[in-house]
Amino acid sequence: MHPIWKQPFTIAALNDLSQHTMVAHLGIQIVEVGDDYLKATMPVDRRTVQPMRLLHGGASVALAETLGSVAGFLCLDDVGQQQVVGVDINATHLRAGREGEIVTGIARPLKLGRRLQMWQIEISNPAGELLCVSRITLAVIERKQEE
């Protein structure tokens, strides 16, 4: 299979871009890139749990949006002229994540069009059990030039 990525990058550089953002605050780290997927981890800890000490659904969505958006950016033909913006995201929560675990999200494309991208993100616990399935739709738009 031909890799889908069109931009040069390293995992370290992708993680460096997230310093001083919500992504870093939640402990999200990109850990692996395959020919057609992007993988990241996130700890289930005081930053990402709800009061019952279970993984907060919003944290799962933040992980999903992070993966989908970064992956979408890496698939752009010309990052000087284009950018991706999220237009829709949904998530179905299937099982609870437990405090102390590290969950893993994997983003794979469902559609990579010139104007629209759609990504599916599956989030699992360390036992490989599926916790959440999310889908994000990204619009590919022209980057506004600084004046």
Active site residues: 65
The amino acid at residue 22 is M
Centre a 10 Å sphere on the Cβ of residue 5 and count the other Cβ atoms it contains. 17
Asked whether 132 and 92 are in contact (CB, 8 A), the reply is yes
For the chain, the C-alpha Rg in angstroms (whole number) is 15
Asked whether 82 and 140 are in contact (CB, 8 A), the reply is yes
What beta strand segments (E) does the chain contain? 29-33, 38-43, 82-93, 102-112, 116-124, 130-142
Asked whether 137 and 88 are in contact (CB, 8 A), the reply is yes
Largest separation between any pair of C-alpha atoms in the chain:
51
